[in-house]
Amino acid sequence: MKRDIDHLMNERGLGAAIVLQGEHMSPTFRYLTGPRAHLKGIVVWRPGQKPYLVHHAMERDSAAATGFALGDYGSLGWMKLLEDEGSQIKATARLIQKVLDTLGIRGRVLVDGVVQLGWYYHVLNHLREMKPDLEIVEDQDPGLFELARSTKDPDEVKTVRTVASVCERAYARIREIIQGARLEGKKLRDGEGPVTIGRLRREVRRVFFEAGLVEPHGNIIAMGRDAGVPHNEGNDKDVLEEGRPIVVDLYPAQENGGYYFDVTRTYCVGRAPQELKELHTLVHDAVRTTVDRLAVGTPGRVYQESVCDLFESHGHRTIRQDERVEEGYVHGLGHGIGLEVHERPRLSAASNPDLILPGSLFTVEPGLYYPSRGLGVRIEDVIYAHHDGSFENLTHVPYELEIAPA
Amino acid sequence: MKRDIDHLMNERGLGAAIVLQGEHMSPTFRYLTGPRAHLKGIVVWRPGQKPYLVHHAMERDSAAATGFALGDYGSLGWMKLLEDEGSQIKATARLIQKVLDTLGIRGRVLVDGVVQLGWYYHVLNHLREMKPDLEIVEDQDPGLFELARSTKDPDEVKTVRTVASVCERAYARIREIIQGARLEGKKLRDGEGPVTIGRLRREVRRVFFEAGLVEPHGNIIAMGRDAGVPHNEGNDKDVLEEGRPIVVDLYPAQENGGYYFDVTRTYCVGRAPQELKELHTLVHDAVRTTVDRLAVGTPGRVYQESVCDLFESHGHRTIRQDERVEEGYVHGLGHGIGLEVHERPRLSAASNPDLILPGSLFTVEPGLYYPSRGLGVRIEDVIYAHHDGSFENLTHVPYELEIAPA
């Protein structure tokens, strides 16, 4: 949570953090400054002090709304620095140096921000040359802001619930379409014609649009063999067919860089073949047993190990046995969500230091994949760790595999 | 254009470029790999050779669609590297080293990618330690990929035209709403109630939704004093009022990180006060004279200087006179657009090396701002420099300031 930042900085011996936002959404910058459509610049965060923001005069209204101490590029002499240095990269380094010197910052500082690396790598190198009393610290794992952001306060969870409820509507819409259609041979159609993956995607998109959500990373609605390749987003032209798995993985966010939700269900039009039913039952068991065993303070990797145990005991190969595995259980068990779709804590096994903490908000998403047999199943819920140590499943979407057409 | 990359690399003495994409859209990565919803990884680009892509096995279908030479994290032993190095940052450096060594790359390389700086700054430092024969080059200004991306080929311009035509519809919709409403006193209303800024924003959003566009950076629909602060996005609750300027600045993009367009018009419900009309006429003159004078090979800053001359000759203060100016002409004249809303060439004055080149696609967007008097006017068109040296205005939106209600 935001209130953890200062004591984490003190614990890690950091005098300040420099958080950048350029052309692209920088989640930590957004976390610190709040949701504002137009605000680029540099936040300097110091424990126990009012944050300082460098901003453009054109964005002075958004800047003022942060409540931070402000300095605009013009007043800081940006154009003069550009002329003197003859390079945007050096002028940016000089500007940061000027701000840090004015604020009396030296020693160990942290840098954060999603920006163009080829440019800012050299900005930081010049900054170190210009200001030898500065040390740009390599952060611990998880990083300070990753860790602070990974535990959500009640306001954040309230916001996430609103996104969750829209996801429920999107899944309800998909089930309605299938239930309202009929099979012609093996293929599904309704009054609008063949029911395709693209049709489902359009309907989902409309549900999100009506609710003010966007899909910055798209979505996955993939059938059969495509459902067996976890990040295959599916083929819009595929007509839904009886008996084949359809993986529906939706991860919309609020507009303007807000909060994400992330749910997956696997559906089958009509009766599912025995093999698919068994996979689905086992994956559902993996979700249930994971959620039942959750405990605050436990490393996230423990749950991945348990799921690998479960799947291996049923004869499935897992990523634990061979990281190159493409059939069986091929990915990590889950990840935090928030202002990014993938945050901390991770529930994967390899070199993962993350703990489940009070306030953690994360997915549990086991899956089994057999693309060579046209099969893929994934089920994904989002779980919140309350501050009293109890867990709540925020995902209210039915698990049923089989959906009967009309 | 993409075909310029190799000779620019040779010109700049670069043996390879490393282009990263993590959680966030990295425009150069997308430029090189094409539009794919799911594809993270590392592209290694070498002049005259097939590009190499490091990808996740889960994304093997998207990876295969690039046509690049492929290596997936699993086959490259990612989890072993993580265990050996005990840190994601060091393991990433080790992986890049391994790939570069396998490809026989040493010497001067360029890095590009929109990623978390606090993390990748240290990845690059470790990489330099691990691989002393590598030099991570500080690029020229404009950067190599900025320069290649700044000149658009016919396919790109064709795509941009489709986005432009949707913008035309959005502006038509705004005019229709105003024309279909009536004044009650000074305020505009219609059958749905008071016509607010929020109402216009919702209508615009719907036009974009129907056409498959998104607004990753929101938009600006701002009235009166807010119109006088260029990046104030406007207040949804404001009811449109007779005689006040409304700046409408829309910059949607295709979904999944595609191409942008960017248009601004300034409207006034009913009759405009003389002062507003004069500002609008002068800003419109600035657009026209700029477009008339465009010539390939000319530095972008030349046009900013001309517009400053024009505005100053009419008694307006400009950013050229004082970079802290908040009333008058307070920003640069324009910017390239493409996979980002702000690209090269820039048409601003300060330390700007950019030239207008065959294939340049850029905005011309002068404005005059008097927030203290409730006034702001901006007009923005997008211009394409054809390869024969002629210029085409891609913006087919009427310039009229005054829109008469019913």
Q: What is the distance between the alpha carbons of residues A284 and A286, in angstroms, rounded to a whole number?
A: 5
Indicate where chain A has its CATH 3.40.350.10 domain(s).
2-147
Helix H or strand E encompassing B368: strand B367-370
Task: Convert the pLDDT of each residue in A116-140 to its tens digit.
Answer: 999 999 999 999 999 999 999 999 9
User: Is the pLDDT reported for residue B32 higher than 90?
Assistant: yes
- What CATH number labels B151-403? 3.90.230.10
User: Is the pLDDT reported for residue B314 higher than 80?
Assistant: yes
Contacting residues of A for B229, CB less than 8 Å apart:
58, 60-61
| Residue predicted with more confidence, B36 or A67 | A67
Of B83, B114, B326, Cβ closest to residue A116: B114
Task: Convert the pLDDT of each residue in B167-210 to its tens digit.
Answer: 999 999 999 999 999 999 999 999 999 999 999 999 999 999 99
**Average pLDDT, integer, range A214-234:** 97
Task: Convert the pLDDT of each residue in B158-177 to its tens digit.
Answer: 999 999 999 999 999 999 99
Q: Do A119 and B20 touch (CB under 8 A)?
A: no
User: Is the pLDDT reported for residue A26 higher than 80?
Assistant: yes
Q: What is the pLDDT of residue B350?
A: 78
Closest CA of chain B from A107, distance in Å: 16
Is the whole-model pTM more than 0.95?
yes
Q: What is the distance between the alpha carbons of residues B388 and B296, in angstroms, rounded to a whole number?
A: 9
User: Is the pLDDT reported for residue B63 higher than 90?
Assistant: yes
DSSP state string for B248-289: EEE--EETTT--B--EEEEEEESSPPHHHHHHHHHHHHHHHH
Task: Name residue, tokens 């190159």.
Answer: A324
Residue B282: which pLDDT band, with cuts at 50, 70 and 90? very high
Task: Name residue, tokens 């798209």.
Answer: A218
Indicate where chain A has its CATH 3.90.230.10 domain(s).
151-403
Q: What is the pLDDT of residue B351?
A: 84
Task: Return the structure tokens found at A162.
Answer: 């609103």
Q: What is the pLDDT of residue B256?
A: 87
Residue A38: which pLDDT band, with cuts at 50, 70 and 90? confident
Q: A237: burial class by Cβ within 10 Å (0-12, 13-18, 19+)?
A: exposed
**Average pLDDT, integer, range A192-215:** 97
Q: What percent of chain A has pLDDT over 70?
A: 100
Q: What is the distance between the alpha carbons of residues B159 and B254, in angstroms, rounded to a whole number?
A: 9
Task: Convert the pLDDT of each residue in B224-242 to its tens digit.
Answer: 999 999 999 999 999 999 9
Q: What is the pLDDT of residue B36?
A: 82
Task: Convert the pLDDT of each residue in A345-360 to its tens digit.
Answer: 999 987 899 999 999 9
Q: What is the pLDDT of residue A10?
A: 98
Q: What is the pLDDT of residue A351?
A: 83
Q: What is the distance between the alpha carbons of residues B71 and A352, in angstroms, rounded to a whole number?
A: 23
- Tell me, rounded to whole angstroms, the distance of Cα B125 from its chain centroid: 30
Residue A60: which pLDDT band, with cuts at 50, 70 and 90? very high
Q: What is the pLDDT of residue B117?
A: 97
Of B121, B215, B340, Cβ closest to residue A111: B121
Nearest chain A residue to B141 by CA distance is A87
User: Is the pLDDT reported for residue A185 higher than 90?
Assistant: yes
Contacting residues of B for A117, CB less than 8 Å apart:
20, 111-115, 117, 120-121, 124
- What CATH number labels A2-147? 3.40.350.10
Q: State ipTM.
A: 0.96
**Average pLDDT, integer, range B32-52:** 94
**Average pLDDT, integer, range A65-82:** 96
**Average pLDDT, integer, range B143-165:** 98
Q: In the predicted model, what is the mean pLDDT of chain B? A: 97
Q: What is the pLDDT of residue A349?
A: 87
**Average pLDDT, integer, range B282-301:** 98
The angle at the Cα of A76, spanning A74 to A79, to the nearest 5 degrees, equals 55
User: Is the pLDDT reported for residue A37 higher than 80?
Assistant: no
Contacting residues of A for B230, CB less than 8 Å apart:
58
Q: What is the pLDDT of residue B37?
A: 74
Q: What percent of chain B has pLDDT over 70?
A: 100
Closest CA of chain B from A404, distance in Å: 30
Q: Do A141 and B330 touch (CB under 8 A)?
A: no
**Average pLDDT, integer, range B303-319:** 98
